């Protein structure tokens, strides 16, 4: 039997594509999803800490700025299946959504399993075959003679040695992040053999490790927000900046402010953190000196700092005093001016050398993958290998935290389905 469509990967993109295909009656019995894991959508269940942040409610004009340098290239993909269409898709199929005050969109139940069940059920109800424990080991395009049919087709060899034949293939195998979920980059060599350029995959949305990290004992403390600048270690040139929540972990810096910068980070670069966004080093030094010479002169230095900066945790300020060689228990008026200068520098320009981003096992997404230049972004079809389509994180697209990655998975999957199903009569996938 030759399937019309074989989808490789039952993640967000693959299942969404399956659900769209399932709504075309012509898909019944003619579409198969091949998934290497024992069950579909494992990463979807982890998304948003199990709550599944499906998309963001912001203006679509703003979306492209959330995908790094490749954002502009995928504008039309996002516009054709926008955040509003994602929201309607789920709500119309019985999964009401809610928009949080920060614009992130979740199922109203805050259960990622509801999203996963909806997609899986849509596939199964529409006659899409979902075959798990079926890792794709090889992917070949057969000419008409080899295929023994009037059209060319693909031969897909699975882990158990069985072969699946399909007229069109949608590669939705994800990137390399969280390989324990099945997304381990195993399809990249097969896609390269079919002539597609692969941009070196690297961890993104990942915590950053810095040399001589001082905040291990403050693990769990967060700042909302902090301003973070990433700059060249030699020239000091600014590479990227971000203002968002920052989190200290046992071994590294994390939180959205760091994760969203991580796609740019390389060892040797500098990270500078301002824990008091909007205030300069000079502003803070002045505030400290004025307080210590005025109304706060009799207080201990640490109490004065807590009073001046109530948004900052006491334990953090205490450690900062140690780092600035300022006696926390000494009267503010007795603190030397040089100690105020050091404290102001740490509060507004706490600077670290990046030793490296975290590994794929810590990265929420992958930067790199199939080069966008290898794909016709009007159809999501490979230029080198007609009949092969791509969607989701397998492509060289990585978005910020906030629902941007699932939005791209859905938008690209929808566009791929619309293109590969163009010959089908049903309007549901158009
Ligand atoms: C912890 C965590 C939290 C996240 N939270 C969010 C969030 O809240 N919002 C958001 O927008 N994004 C979030 N993301 C990112 C988002 O989950 C991914 O970008 C998205 O799942 C990508 O979808 P995909 O279908 O392209 O790939 P995946 O979801 O990775 O699915 C790929 C599938 O392909 C299968 N596969 C791989 N290779 C083969 C092969 N050779 N043969 C057969 N099958 C194969 C894999 O087993 C997997 O099931 C999060 C990611 C992580 C890790």
- Distance separating alpha carbons of residues 32 and 408, to the nearest angstrom: 22
* Alpha-carbon distances of 107 from 18, 50, 110, 422, rounded to whole Å: 20, 11, 5, 31
Q: Are strands 31-34 and 129-131 parallel, antiparallel or unpaired?
A: parallel
User: Does the CB atom of residue 9 touch ligand 1 within 6 A?
Assistant: yes
User: Does the CB atom of residue 352 touch ligand 1 within 6 A?
Assistant: no
pLDDT confidence of residue 136: 98
User: Does the CB atom of residue 112 touch ligand 1 within 6 A?
Assistant: no
User: Does the CB atom of residue 412 touch ligand 1 within 6 A?
Assistant: no
> Residue 361 C-alpha to ligand 1 middle, in angstroms?
13
* Alpha-carbon distances of 309 from 20, 65, 218, 287, 332, rounded to whole Å: 52, 32, 18, 10, 15
CB 136 within 8 A of CB 37: no
pLDDT confidence of residue 425: 40
User: Does the CB atom of residue 400 touch ligand 1 within 6 A?
Assistant: no
> Residue 208 C-alpha to ligand 1 middle, in angstroms?
21
State the CB neighbour count (10 A cutoff) for residue 93: 13
SS3 67: coil
- Distance separating alpha carbons of residues 270 and 238, to the nearest angstrom: 9
pLDDT confidence of residue 428: 38
> Residue 301 C-alpha to ligand 1 middle, in angstroms?
49
State the CB neighbour count (10 A cutoff) for residue 300: 18
Structure token digits, residue 299: 């207080």
Q: Which atom of ligand 1 is nearest to the CA of 173?
A: 34
User: Does the CB atom of residue 12 touch ligand 1 within 6 A?
Assistant: yes
Q: Which of 173, 198, 259 to mutate to test the pocket of ligand 1 (most atoms within 8 A of CB)?
A: 173
pLDDT confidence of residue 421: 83
Structure token digits, residue 330: 């000494």
Q: Which atom of ligand 1 is nearest to the CA of 41?
A: 49
- Distance separating alpha carbons of residues 201 and 208, to the nearest angstrom: 17
User: Does the CB atom of residue 107 touch ligand 1 within 6 A?
Assistant: no
Structure token digits, residue 360: 């794929």
User: Does the CB atom of residue 13 touch ligand 1 within 6 A?
Assistant: yes
CA proximity to 163, closest of 153, 172, 175 = 153
The helix, strand and coil proportions of the chain, stated in percent and rounded to the nearest 5, come to 40, 25, 35
CB 23 within 8 A of CB 49: no
The low-confidence residues of the chain, meaning pLDDT below 50, are 423-430
Residue labelled with tokens 């909302």: 224
SS3 2: strand
- Distance separating alpha carbons of residues 49 and 39, to the nearest angstrom: 19
Q: Which atom of ligand 1 is nearest to the CA of 404?
A: 11
> Residue 173 C-alpha to ligand 1 middle, in angstroms?
8
Q: Which of 11, 397, 401 to mutate to test the pocket of ligand 1 (most atoms within 8 A of CB)?
A: 11
Q: What is the DSSP string of 33-63?
A: EE-SSSSS-HHHHHGGGGT---EE-S-HHHH
Cis peptide preceding 321, ω within 30 of 0: no
329: which strand partners? none
CB 125 within 8 A of CB 99: no
């Amino acid at each position: 039997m030759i399937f019309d469509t074989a989808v490789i990967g039952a993640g967000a993109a693959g299942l969404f594509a399956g659900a769209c295909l399932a709504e075309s009656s012509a898909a019944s019995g003619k579409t198969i999803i091949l998934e290497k894991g024992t069950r579909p959508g494992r990463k979807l269940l982890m998304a948003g800490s199990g709550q599944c942040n499906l998309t963001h409610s912001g203006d679509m004009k703003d979306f492209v700025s959330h995908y790094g340098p490749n954002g502009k290239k995928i504008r039309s993909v996002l516009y054709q299946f926008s955040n509003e269409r994602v929201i309607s898709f789920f709500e119309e199929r019985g999964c009401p959504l809610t928009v949080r005050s920060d614009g992130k969109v979740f199922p109203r139940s805050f259960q990622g399993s509801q999203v996963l069940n909806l997609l899986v059920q849509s596939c199964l109800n529409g006659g899409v075959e979902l075959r798990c424990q079926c890792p794709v080991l090889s992917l070949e395009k057969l000419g008409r003679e080899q295929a023994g049919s009037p059209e060319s087709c693909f031969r897909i060899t699975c882990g158990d040695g069985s072969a699946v034949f399909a007229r069109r293939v949608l590669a939705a195998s994800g990137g390399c992040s969280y390989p324990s979920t099945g997304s381990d980059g195993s399809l990249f060599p097969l896609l390269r053999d079919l002539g597609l350029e692969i941009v070196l995959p690297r961890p993104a949305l990942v915590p950053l490790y810095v040399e001589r990290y001082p905040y291990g004992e403050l693990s769990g403390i967060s700042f909302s927000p902090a301003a973070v600048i990433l700059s060249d270690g030699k020239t000091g040139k600014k590479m990227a900046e971000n203002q968002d929540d920052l989190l200290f972990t046992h071994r590294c810096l994390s939180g959205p402010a760091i994760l969203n910068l991580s796609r740019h980070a390389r060892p040797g670069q500098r990270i500078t953190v301002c824990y008091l966004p909007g205030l300069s080093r000079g502003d803070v030094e002045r505030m400290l000196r004025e307080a210590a010479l005025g109304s706060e002169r009799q207080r201990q230095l640490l109490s004065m700092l807590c009073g001046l900066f109530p948004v900052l945790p006491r334990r953090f300020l205490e450690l900062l005093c140690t780092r600035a060689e300022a006696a926390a228990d000494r009267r503010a008026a007795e603190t030397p001016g040089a100690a105020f200068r050091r404290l102001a520098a740490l509060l507004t320009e706490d600077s670290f050398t990046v030793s490296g981003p975290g590994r794929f096992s810590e990265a929420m997404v992958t930067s790199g993958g199939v080069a966008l230049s290898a794909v016709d972004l009007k159809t999501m079809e490979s230029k080198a290998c007609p009949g092969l389509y791509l969607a989701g994180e397998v492509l060289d697209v990585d978005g910020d935290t906030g629902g941007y990655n699932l939005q791209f998975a859905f938008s690209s999957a929808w566009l791929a389905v619309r293109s590969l199903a163009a010959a089908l009569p049903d309007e549901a996938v158009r």
